[in-house]
Amino acid sequence: MKLVTRLTPLSIVICLAFNSFGQNNQPGELSIAFTGDAIITRKLSVYTEPQFMEMVNLLRGSTLAFTNLEMLFHNYESYPMHQSGGTYMRGDPSLAQELVWAGFDMVSMANNHTGDYGVPAMQKTIEHAEDAGLLIAGAGNSLALAREAKFIETEHGRVALISCSSTFPDHSRAGKTRGDIPPRPGLSPLRYTTTYKVTRQQMTELENLGKSLGVLSQDRQSTNRLRLFRQNFEVADEPDIITEPNQEDLEEIAAVVKNASGLADVTIVTIHAHERDGALSIPAQFVVTFARAMIDAGADIMVGHGPHVLRGVEMYKGKPILYSLSNFMFQNETLLRLPYENYERYGLEANNHVSDFNARRYRNDSSGFPARRNVWESIIAKPVWQGGELKSLTFHPIDLGFGKPRQVRGRPMMADPRLGRKIIQELADLSKPFGTTIEWKDGVGAVRLK
């Protein structure tokens, strides 16, 4: 079990009690607890409910624990950018220590909030997180550094972490250099292309629209392809939407994965991807293509996060692809400050503050985060390897407090058996299209490994 610091006497007693439940590793096993998005704005270490400490003990009892750090740690040293990932994220730098207290060892910083407050805030976040003892992947002072695999040593093996994002404002994307100009700091991107398949009649209608608006040339090289309003259209028998990963990005990340797999016992790739294929719970096709390519390149597990809902699980060539672990902490309603742009969007004035923003943002909106139960129900995934082989893959259901006041909801704890079974059944249903069977057993979901 990991060394835990700053525990109260009551916390120590509770932790010791839960240790007897067999959460810890067996000899020679390497286990990793994977969680989804961590939007943290409040302390964790003050709470001692049994269901909460049971969850914390699951994280601490694993060899390593991972979360997507969808938060920036800074003291407003820099200004907000003209565009954010939605809500401008900021947490007190001391919260990095709270993640370590809970048992986390490594985080991804590649997501749509990496650049909310510009490069200085990203750099401050890395500094505060590393000072707290967290391993960070997915962001850096150049594209090469953002792409780079990060390694962590454990008693039972060396682990590599590579992270990227397909969802981001373009200013957040890290850049390359030819040596004469400094590279652009930022995140490791996975760009993608979208092609809209349309019928011949629809293509004709699009052509006529473009010509009537004066944005389409009268002389075109192809009658089967069209670029209009910065979108690509192609003639097909049936309408469809095709997404494909950017080949340059895919090859660069695959090369990093191949290298890491030769230097580590377990190689992890994570992606922050909001993009969907119809329903939010179904990943876009380019995400599926990318995930499988990473396994082909040598990854032992592929972990997705971003859409704030669960997505299915695929066992590809015997390796797990977790398309989305949804939320781990979702405390986006208790930020200390928000920039002018967030208030302006909802017509709020100088005497309006964060609670007013929340009320206006989610008023009469049945599709908003507070009203969507599936946003507040999630899992912790725990694969276990022994001798380099996947031994088991289990899913532990967690409850983020749907329907509770905004100053309460967003902090996770183990779900009760009834809710837990519901969450695992939903995960099992989402995984069936990928040919994966997940069974409910002893309060957790377990993949039936071949």
Single pTM value for the model: 0.92
Q: What is the pLDDT of residues 101-121, one digit of tens each?
A: 999 999 999 999 999 999 999
- Residue 27 CB contacts under 8 Å (≥ 6 apart), including other chains: none
| pLDDT for position 221 | 64
| pLDDT for position 22 | 38
Q: What is the pLDDT of residues 267-278, one digit of tens each?
A: 999 999 999 999
Please state, for a pLDDT cut of 70, what percent of the chain lies above it.
93
Q: What is the pLDDT of residues 382-414, one digit of tens each?
A: 999 998 899 999 999 999 999 999 999 999 999
Q: What is the pLDDT of residues 192-203, one digit of tens each?
A: 999 999 999 999
Give strand ranges (E) for 347-443: 377-386, 389-399, 413-414, 438-441
Q: What is the pLDDT of residues 25-68, one digit of tens each?
A: 677 899 999 999 999 999 999 999 999 999 999 999 999 999 99
**Measured in whole angstroms, how far is the alpha carbon of residue 235 from the centre of its chain?**
35
State the virtual CA torsion across 399, 400, 404, 408 in degrees, nearest 10: 130
Grade residue 367 by pLDDT with cuts at 50, 70 and 90: confident
**Measured in whole angstroms, how far is the alpha carbon of residue 54 from the centre of its chain?**
23
Q: Which two tokens stand for residue 421?
A: 């079974």
Q: How far is CA 46 from CA 43, 52, 60, 133, 349, in A?
A: 7, 11, 17, 20, 35
Domains annotated on the chain, with CATH: 11-190+254-332+364-447 (3.60.21), 192-241 (no CATH)
